[in-house]
Structure 1
Amino acid sequence: MDIFLIIGVTTGLLAVIVGMIVKGANVAVLLNPAAAIIILIGTAAAVMNSFPKKEFLSIPKIIGALFREKGGESPVSIIKEIVEISQSTRKNGLLSLETTVQNMQNKFMKKGLEMVADGLESEVISEILDMEIESMEERHRNGAAVFTAAGAAAPTLGVLGAVVGLIGALGNLNDTEKLGHMIAGAFVATLYGIFVGYVACHPFASRLKRKSHEEISSMRIIYEGVLAIQSGANPKSIERRLVGMLEPKDRSEIEGNSSQN
């Protein structure tokens, strides 16, 4: 579970509640079922109208990926593994990869090295791995687009909810006390819409894009490493090439270990 994301959402919610308390507003007014129906169901309807059934039904899976802590190997560990494999293949030949990949957890790396062991040409391996990366990027792009669409719809639906609330309030002009309560409730829908759009959905889309970028970056490292192993490149040159694809903070970890050795 991504605790930092949960803290962010909770902080946003607390900011609204504390702000209302400071301003002397009644926090109980936030418990507005009508506003929640308009924003949540209305936003869901907007997403349904924007995407095909398959992508809409995948939303729970996307949310699961969003709140799941990043798993798998780090780019640094991937590079170390690739360098170790390149050293082994230089010593024992490419056929030794058949044994190496048997218990490999990283499916993308396993697929690439299996093709190398099978003797496929580098152009074929490159094409297949490129298609795999592009397919992954497209799936991630669609997932982020769902939240972008929801983030665009929610604030506008908040205005719609406020209009609906004001229509109800205008029907009770004779009851001053009830009128004030209904006007306050009308603007709760706007608050809901802005919160859902700009504290949840748009940030969620940005976070999914970032997660996608990190995963694709790791796949690109594997892509380059597999082709380098296939070409029989020197392990040291492979390491230098792949380290150049890392962020500065990660480069120092490998370069520091290399200098010690």
Structure 2
Amino acid sequence: MIGIIGIITIFIMVFGGYVAAGGKMGIIIKALPFEMMMIGGAAVGAFLLSNDGAAVKHTIKDVGKVFKGPKWKPDDYRDLLCLLFELIRLARQNPVAIEEHIETPEESSIFSNYPKIMTDKEAVALICDTMRSASMNYDDPHQVEEVLEKRMEANAHHALHSSHALQMVADALPALGIVAAVLGVIKTMASIDQPPEILGKMIGGALVGTFLGVFLAYAIIGPFAEKVKGVTEDESNFYKLIREVLVANLHNHATNICIEVGRQNTPSHRRPSFADLEEALKALKQEAA
């Protein structure tokens, strides 16, 4: 919702101010389809040229983050902590019983209690791979943490490609606007024998290209790229929480301490309260009993 409000505000303030100052929208509206065809078409073409099919699909999908915001909410972080609590407790009580849950998580009675987390293949794989490694005696906390850090860095690099691709388009748009404007000037110069009122409109139409390129770059596509980047970085905290809890587990801390380490390493705007988490964990213990 806030993204839509931002876009509406931009258009109202820019074009409202233009009209309030005595500007006429007619010349912009008349030139807009042709300028948008040149500038927008060139921008789309450059985007397709510089990215492969998977990256194009990924970027188009990630544009929705501008309006939806981060995938993971505070309740999801609480659920993740509860999931990790159940898995760690079971692994310590019965190392054999945990295997069925980490080998086939889609059939796990524990994972099935958290359907939203189950939809994220990377989160599930991160949990299962780490716990499987621990069961195979690859349990040096420092080595495991280093492996997880490299894995998450690689995932973050891939996830941020969308914002980089959008920023590339934003950086190109002002220059593409100049290209369109120059073509408009060339057209105007070919009609230099026309009266001033006609030439004025033609020059005004040419300048719409410069305006459109700069406007799209700094008011639309650039902010889109920055928002996608911010949301992606926010979502990465979900995987960092997994790392913190599982590494704490390898240090042989008490299960409750492992979960509290994860809770405290969660960003404050996503962190579940201690009381809320404690109540959820008590409910799990009661169900197990």
TM range (shorter): 0.7 to 0.9
Task: Give 1:70 shift.
Answer: 3.1
Q: Is 2:188–2:199's contact at 8 Å kept on the other side of the alignment?
A: yes
Q: Does 1:82 align with 2:84?
A: yes
Q: Is 1:76–1:250's contact at 8 Å kept on the other side of the alignment?
A: no
Q: Does 1:16 align with 2:17?
A: no
TM-score of the superposed pair, with normalisation by structure 2: 0.75
Task: Give 1:238 shift.
Answer: 1.1
List aligned pairs for 1:57-206, cutoff 5 A.
58-72=58-72, 74-90=76-92, 92-97=93-98, 98-99=100-101, 101=105, 102=108, 104=111, 105=118, 106-115=120-129, 116=131, 119-120=135-136, 121-122=138-139, 126=145, 129-130=148-149, 132-173=151-192, 174-206=194-226
2:35 is matched with which residue? 35
Query: CA–CA distance in 1 between the matches of 2:277 and 2:72?
Result: 23
Structure 1: 5+ residue runs without aligned partners? none
212, 222, 231: which one pairs with 1:211? 231
Q: Does 1:240 align with 2:264?
A: no
* Higher mean C-alpha displacement, 113-122 vs 125-134: 125-134
Indicate how the Cα distance of structure 1 residues 64 and 248 shifts in structure 2: closer, same or farther if over 3 A, else same: closer
Indicate how the Cα distance of structure 1 residues 248 and 54 shifts in structure 2: closer, same or farther if over 3 A, else same: closer
Give the match's secondary structure for 1:238: helix
Structure 2: 5+ residue runs without aligned partners? 112-117, 283-289
2:115 is matched with which residue? none
Give the match's secondary structure for 1:233: coil
Q: Is 1:164–1:186's contact at 8 Å kept on the other side of the alignment?
A: yes
Q: Is 1:126–1:227's contact at 8 Å kept on the other side of the alignment?
A: yes
Task: Give 1:235 shift.
Answer: 2.1
Indicate how the Cα distance of structure 1 residues 246 and 6 shifts in structure 2: closer, same or farther if over 3 A, else same: same
Indicate how the Cα distance of structure 1 residues 29 and 53 shifts in structure 2: closer, same or farther if over 3 A, else same: same
Query: CA–CA distance in 1 between the matches of 2:53 and 2:81?
Result: 39
Q: Is 2:191–2:199's contact at 8 Å kept on the other side of the alignment?
A: yes
Q: Is 2:181–2:209's contact at 8 Å kept on the other side of the alignment?
A: yes
* Higher mean C-alpha displacement, 178-187 vs 104-113: 104-113
Query: CA–CA distance in 2 between the matches of 1:69 and 1:40?
Result: 26
* Higher mean C-alpha displacement, 195-204 vs 6-15: 6-15
Give the match's secondary structure for 2:160: helix
Query: CA–CA distance in 2 between the matches of 1:129 and 1:41?
Result: 41
Structure 2 counterpart of 1:22, one-letter code: A
The superposition leaves residues 209-252 of structure 1 with CA deviations (integer Å, 9 ceiling, x where unpaired) of: 1122112111011122233335542123213322331223445x
Q: Is 1:79–1:242's contact at 8 Å kept on the other side of the alignment?
A: yes
Structure 2 counterpart of 1:79, one-letter code: L
Structure 1 counterpart of 2:18, one-letter code: M
Amino-acid identity (%): 19
Q: Is 1:144–1:205's contact at 8 Å kept on the other side of the alignment?
A: yes
